[in-house]
Amino acid sequence: MANVGTVDRVIRAIIGIALIYYGVTAENYWWILGAVLLATAIFKFCGLYKVLGISTCAKPSS
């Protein structure tokens, strides 16, 4: 079940790509955090949000 909203996904994707680029060019391990952020943006799911009971998805209107 998705728990990452659109704005959250865009921010995670931008920061994730930036960290991957920095980590690869600087030859350090920041790319791992970038990959995690990018994966949570792609799959719309964050395990930490699940544990904390947080969701940034829009509430469905009825």
Q: What is the pTM of this model?
A: 0.88
| pLDDT at residue 2 tops 70 | yes
Does a structural domain hold residue 57? no
pLDDT at 60: 75
Q: Tens of pLDDT along 10-48?
A: 999 999 999 999 999 999 999 999 999 999 999 999 999
Distant-in-sequence contacts of 52-59, Cβ < 8 A, 24+ apart: 54/3, 55/3, 55/5, 56/3, 56/4, 56/5, 56/7, 56/8, 57/2, 57/3, 57/4, 57/5, 58/5, 58/6
Residue 56 in any domain: the answer is no
Task: Inform me whether the pLDDT recorded for 62 exceeds 80.
Answer: no
Answer whether residue 62 is part of any domain.
Answer: no
Task: Provide the domain limits for residue 37.
Answer: 10-47
pLDDT over 70 at 5, yes or no: yes
For residue 59, pLDDT beyond 90: no
